[in-house]
Structure 1
């Protein structure tokens, strides 16, 4: 399960561009908490603290507890906006969650045992098709990553989603096919070498 973190927040009495600019001058940014069959809650959160959480990784998969004027809200960041020119954080949308909440999230892929892959040992290259995989899972049990084991994969082999052991109650969002996550591809020089070997074998067979 992903790590959790806390943020301090205050209620926003005013909304709009003028209010947002005033918040940013005070080192805060506007945000909203929605969902859970409750009215949206406009809040202001610390800009520096939230930006650090964003750049630490896993911002959209980690559960947060937001303390809003003494009241706690358990949430998950679902979207954020950056300034198009200066690239700083300007707004965050948080979703209220409970034990029964299920979400579709993009989870990063990690690869292990590259050094024991026969294909990579022979000079093959790991070609990553998907750096993230979209999963359906409980909001309280979002995996930090999924792990693809490359041990045993040779040149031309593919790692499909069926190779991955997912946690309980976690399923791929794509269910109609066993999609590819990565392949072990032969580099151009090795392809020519293998092709030449194949042609030599065919020629030898004909001579016999």
Structure 2
């Protein structure tokens, strides 16, 4: 079971120069906690601890216990700034989770029964994912690590929209609340390339 806990230390040395020194000399990632009724707080996290946590997909959609100088605080990962070439984290933003207050978070979609769906198994179609994650609104205790999209009964030419997703109790999709019912996935007929098409009889080989 993944431990969704991070240790951090408060920092007062701010600015780009200070952030570079943190990363270079102490292998620390500068970060900020914001939200709730408290002022934003600048912190630093061990780069290797953050990298280990981010190996788990659920870390992006799970309430994390952020231990700052001995005081634990529930937070969500809100944004990560990564190195453009090496992909390691340069800066992290965390949002405070307030009990009893709804939060918004990005949750991954898990597509199930793709290969056994009507459109693939019986009709020979191909699955296309339009989106792989959704933004949800819910209370902290209702936040799901992922949301399943069942494609078992989807046929060729059929489009699965956000309104077709079975949501966990207490969870709402932000896009639907704004009146946008986006396509999530569809099954289309396989594309046949010219190289794959059968040659006409008598054609030169």
Q: Which TM-score applies when normalising by structure 1? A: 0.81
> Is contact 2:33–2:40 with CA below 8 Å preserved after alignment?
yes
**Is 1:158 matched with 2:163?**
no
- The 2-side partners of 1:125 and 1:136 are apart by 31
Structure with the higher helix share, 1 or 2: 1
Matches within 5 A, 1:81-92: 81-92=81-92
Report the equivalent of 1:63. Answer: 63
Report the equivalent of 1:19. Answer: 18
- The 1-side partners of 2:146 and 2:100 are apart by 21
- The 2-side partners of 1:48 and 1:114 are apart by 36
Report the equivalent of 1:182. Answer: 185
Report the equivalent of 2:117. Answer: 117
Report the equivalent of 1:203. Answer: none
- Aligned pair count reads 187
| Larger of the two Rg values belongs to structure | 1
> Is contact 1:98–1:140 with CA below 8 Å preserved after alignment?
no
Q: Secondary structure at the match of 1:7?
A: strand
Gaps of 5+ in 1: 190-208
Q: CA deviation at 1:160?
A: 2.2
Q: Secondary structure at the match of 1:114?
A: coil
Matches within 5 A, 1:142-157: 142-157=143-158
> Is contact 2:58–2:146 with CA below 8 Å preserved after alignment?
no
- The 2-side partners of 1:169 and 1:55 are apart by 28
CA, structure 1 residues 160+85, in 2 after alignment: closer, same or farther (shift >3 Å)? closer
Q: CA deviation at 1:4?
A: 5.7
> Is contact 2:62–2:144 with CA below 8 Å preserved after alignment?
no
CA RMSD of aligned residues (A): 1.9
Report the equivalent of 1:40. Answer: 40
- The 2-side partners of 1:78 and 1:149 are apart by 28
- The 1-side partners of 2:44 and 2:59 are apart by 18
- The 1-side partners of 2:85 and 2:191 are apart by 41
> Is contact 2:75–2:96 with CA below 8 Å preserved after alignment?
yes
Q: CA deviation at 1:46?
A: 0.6
Deviates more, 1:168-177 or 1:32-41: 168-177
- The 2-side partners of 1:66 and 1:10 are apart by 10
Q: Which TM-score applies when normalising by structure 2? A: 0.82
CA, structure 1 residues 177+38, in 2 after alignment: closer, same or farther (shift >3 Å)? closer
Q: Secondary structure at the match of 2:168?
A: coil
Report the equivalent of 1:75. Answer: 75
